[in-house]
Amino acid sequence: MMGMFFWAFVVGGLICVIGQIMMDVFKLTPAHTLSILVVAGAILDGFGLYEPLIDFAGAGATIPITSFGNALVHGAMQEADKHGIIGVLTGMFEVTSAGISAAIVFGFIGALLFRPKG
């Protein structure tokens, strides 16, 4: 269990370093960086490489935005197994819904609660 915390820290930190290098060295905007990371997560899952990383590092792999791409592919594949090719379209948000719905709900609540600064 302690190993889990340690590796979550290291792997999560390293994914953030990759993002930082993309921003600093390749001079990409944060939006470009995050988009590339999400696509990378989707592709890695396509090759079956992201799931072992989650097994190994837990939240170190699920909290970075790369897991968003991974979860989208996962939902799509799950549904595709059940309903064939049409499932790719319908199952996409099956697993990911939590992140997006939480962002929408809390975003609106935040807008109700807080006032813009400056």
| Chain residues 62-91 in contact with other proteins, contact rule CB under 8 A | 62-69, 71-73, 75-78, 80, 84-85, 88-89
Report, in Å, the least distance between residue 55 CB and other proteins.
4
The minimum distance between CB 10 and other proteins, in angstroms, equals 7
What single DSSP character describes residue 117?
P
Assess 26 for contact with other proteins (CB under 8 A): no
Q: What angle do CA 49, 3, 43 make, to 5 degrees?
A: 15
Per-residue tokens: 3:
């190993």
Q: How far is the CB of 32 from other proteins (least distance, A)?
A: 8
Cα(32)–Cα(11) distance, rounded to whole angstroms?
Answer: 21
